[in-house]
Chains A and B, each alone.
Chain A
Amino acid sequence: MAQMVETLEQQHKTDETALITGSEAIAVACKLADVDVITAYPIRPYDTVMQYVSKLVSHGELDCEYIVAEGEHSQFEIVKHASAVGARVFCGSSGVGWMYAMEALTVTPALRIPMVAMVGNRALDDPGAFGVEHNDALTVRDLGWMLVWVDTAQEALDTALIAYRVAEDRRIFLPCAISCDGAFLTHSQALVKIPAQEKVNEFLPRYNRGDLLLHPDNPITVAPQVNEDWVMEIRRQNYAAMERTTAVIKEAYADFERIFGRSYGNPFFEEYMTEDADIVLMGMGTLSIPMKVAIRQMRKEGKKIGFVRLRWFRPFPAEALAKSLGRFKAVGVVDRDYSFGSPYMSGVVTHEVRTALYSAPGPKPPVLCFICGLGGREVTLPDITRMTESVYQAAEGKAQPLTQWIGLRE
């Protein structure tokens, strides 16, 4: 017995390494964060998280209330209310499942609920497709959700811990959705460092809702009807909370580095081979995998090209990104999404990048949009070569279509 206690204590203190998928990494983060209430409803590819969470709960490794709800709408409603009474919560979905929960997704940030959710990014129906597209998570981009895209299982685990830390910070109290590309990340395994529980406890304080706690001893009304008398002031509070997120995210990453001894550098976006680059391509999520391979290859051919991977989409790191992108002669944004009828029919990420860049002082290189890899279609090396060629042309001042669909069947 004494030996067993010692082993458990040891476990508590040491990091471990495991071969796990992105979804499993998220489930492990739930365990480390000691989440209190989890709800689920099956939809691919998010459903993989459910299985891992179920195992942890059934094996007694995670002490939490776990319900498979009767649909995504009730799934998100249940955790929303659990959070209001002080429980740390986890939830998630994919594609149209996420859309079906939209009413709950809308009220969650408005009620300042620090829910952490995982979106296993998937194409919206119709037509039916299981593969990745980013329009699902992007639908909440204006509502007060923090949105972050990760590209490895390790980053999924770490970011989930960071997400709890930031969301539950009293200065913030906003929900955070972690986007994991369907299949490419949710289902693929990689070696992941699982941090010791002791370190996680140091990094992540208990959720304390303070005077906003819904409790018989603290009689408050949540979500009253306020009409035009108060709506603007309440919206403004959300605006102010979102404004504070940038600083709190920076703090969290700095503490993460101090406690876990691993660093992500700039929390908001990753730069790959950009130091001497003439042009860059940009995108989110697992796009980094083919991108990095292609860039290494093109570098061998003497092309000075780099890649920028955007992690945090909300808050959008406008100033920092504008400063960084201003260094290059041209930028190509790869959108795994669409925004039909929007300016120049470009994708969502492109619009944000253009606004960030063109509203800031300093150089304003051309920004091309490439719609690519929709519905889980692979982004191939020839695709990337085509995009690069076009960005080079733009860098030389030759007019290029502002939006191009790449990898489309001829």
Chain B
Amino acid sequence: MSEVDFECAECTNPVEPFLRSERMPHIWCPGCGIGTTVNCFTRALIDSKANLEKLVVVSGIGCTGRVAGYLKLDSFHTTHGRAIPFATGLKLANPKLTVVVYAGDGDLSAIGGNHLIHAARRNIDLKVICVNNLIYGMTGGQTAPTTPEHATTSTNPYGTFEPGFNLPHLVDAAGAVYVARWTTFHVRQVARSMQEAFKKKGFSFIEIISPCPTLYQRRNKMGDGLDAMKYYKQASKVKNGAPTGEVGLTKTGEIAVGKFVDRDRPDYRELMVHRFHESLGDEYVETGELVCS
């Protein structure tokens, strides 16, 4: 049950009704991009007139994982890496819900990496928002599977040597039906992509490159939050429909952004229902919404 009060008289900002103000101040550092993504998310909810009674936000652990606790929506701050399995359970039990997974790159692609590829393969109808700060933020800036080669981290003080994941390519290959990438500089595009994902049936993945001034920017001498915006502005190149194999990130090079994948294929539930109809014929009764008294 959503508690969002759009009539909120004391609210000074359209985003405010969505936030649990009693939990402020939030933990995010000055210049961090996660708050910007939340702003985009709430705008996407407003603009798409999303039915908040039917929307759930599931987050993992880490700096981005805190989003679930700050939003005045039905939300769950689940175990590290398990946002997708939790969301899968929600969606299977209650197919009418719009299930948003809001998590960081570490949570989604490291400890939860297996779930990411399987959910994309099954085409579970989830909207995955991946805030990618290229590092493990909350625990002190260790090398993550997304850290670009040569970047300095607390576990690679002289630069990483492991190749990082190209996440759009990974989920595209696994079968996602909607894949986009933006940075926190692209606030309108992020909000628009979110709206598209809300409408899309199947596994949607939006990667948002987001600054971590405290641990990533500082160690890599990339300045503060504002410098990150300047870099994103200068380095980003819109490449809608680009083959995802070509959109990998480097430490200081071009950031390919845009909508890379938008295709249709039956989602997990459709396939399941189809299969049961095929084998059981009229005996199969489709279950609908889970009614909780």
Interface-lining segment among B126-134, B155-163, B257-265: B155-163
Interface-lining segment among B13-21, B47-55, B136-144, B244-252: B136-144
A70 in contact with B142 given A50-B154, A58-B156 (CB within 8 Å) = no
How many residues of chain A get a CB closer than 8 Å to chain B's CBs? 23
CB-nearest residue of chain A to B81: A71
Interface class of chain B by DSSP:
loop
A51 touches B154 (CB 8 A): yes
CB-nearest residue of chain A to B159: A58
A50 touches B142 (CB 8 A): yes
B81 contacts which chain A residues (CB < 8 A)? 71
A128 in contact with B77 given A70-B145, A71-B110 (CB within 8 Å) = yes
B110 touches A43 (CB 8 A): no
Taken together as a complex, chains A and B put the C-alpha atoms of A54 and B140 apart, in Å, by 13
B142 touches A68 (CB 8 A): yes
Taken together as a complex, chains A and B put the C-alpha atoms of A33 and B151 apart, in Å, by 30
Point out residues on B near A: beta carbons under 8 Å: 77, 79-81, 106, 110-111, 113, 136, 138-140, 142-143, 145, 154-158
B110 touches A47 (CB 8 A): no
A42 touches B139 (CB 8 A): yes
A47 in contact with B158 given A71-B81, A96-B80 (CB within 8 Å) = no
Taken together as a complex, chains A and B put the C-alpha atoms of A136 and B111 apart, in Å, by 19
A96 contacts which chain B residues (CB < 8 A)? 79-80
A242 to chain B, nearest CB (A): 32
A97 contacts which chain B residues (CB < 8 A)? 80
Point out residues on A near B: beta carbons under 8 Å: 40-44, 47-48, 50-51, 54-55, 58-59, 66, 68, 70-72, 96-97, 100, 125, 128
Taken together as a complex, chains A and B put the C-alpha atoms of A134 and B142 apart, in Å, by 26
Given A41-B110, A58-B157, 19 more contacts at CB 8 Å?
A40-B142, A41-B111, A42-B106, A44-B139, A47-B139, A47-B140, A48-B140, A50-B140, A51-B140, A51-B142, A51-B154, A51-B155, A54-B155, A68-B142, A70-B113, A71-B81, A71-B110, A100-B80, A100-B111
Taken together as a complex, chains A and B put the C-alpha atoms of A312 and B156 apart, in Å, by 35
Taken together as a complex, chains A and B put the C-alpha atoms of A72 and B136 apart, in Å, by 14
Taken together as a complex, chains A and B put the C-alpha atoms of A170 and B222 apart, in Å, by 51
A142 to chain B, nearest CB (A): 24
A47 in contact with B142 given A42-B136, A100-B80 (CB within 8 Å) = yes
**15 A–B contacts, CB within 8 A, in A order:** A47-B139, A47-B140, A50-B142, A51-B154, A54-B154, A58-B156, A68-B143, A70-B111, A70-B113, A70-B145, A71-B111, A72-B111, A100-B80, A125-B79, A128-B77
A58 touches B158 (CB 8 A): yes
B156 contacts which chain A residues (CB < 8 A)? 54, 58
A42 contacts which chain B residues (CB < 8 A)? 106, 136, 139-140, 142
A40 contacts which chain B residues (CB < 8 A)? 142, 155
Taken together as a complex, chains A and B put the C-alpha atoms of A70 and B81 apart, in Å, by 10
A54 touches B111 (CB 8 A): no
A71 to chain B, nearest CB (A): 4
A100 contacts which chain B residues (CB < 8 A)? 80, 111
B146 to chain A, nearest CB (A): 11
Best-buried of B77, B111, B113, B157 by chain A (most CB within 10 Å): B111
Best-buried of A44, A55, A68 by chain B (most CB within 10 Å): A68
B156 to chain A, nearest CB (A): 7
B147 to chain A, nearest CB (A): 9
CB-nearest residue of chain A to B145: A70
Taken together as a complex, chains A and B put the C-alpha atoms of A41 and B156 apart, in Å, by 13
CB-nearest residue of chain A to B77: A128
Taken together as a complex, chains A and B put the C-alpha atoms of A50 and B136 apart, in Å, by 13
A125 contacts which chain B residues (CB < 8 A)? 79
Taken together as a complex, chains A and B put the C-alpha atoms of A55 and B138 apart, in Å, by 19
Taken together as a complex, chains A and B put the C-alpha atoms of A42 and B63 apart, in Å, by 13
Taken together as a complex, chains A and B put the C-alpha atoms of A277 and B246 apart, in Å, by 74
B61 to chain A, nearest CB (A): 8
CB-nearest residue of chain A to B65: A128
B110 touches A50 (CB 8 A): no
Taken together as a complex, chains A and B put the C-alpha atoms of A96 and B60 apart, in Å, by 13
Taken together as a complex, chains A and B put the C-alpha atoms of A363 and B81 apart, in Å, by 51
CB-nearest residue of chain A to B157: A58
B140 contacts which chain A residues (CB < 8 A)? 42, 47-48, 50-51
A120 to chain B, nearest CB (A): 11
CB-nearest residue of chain B to A52: B154
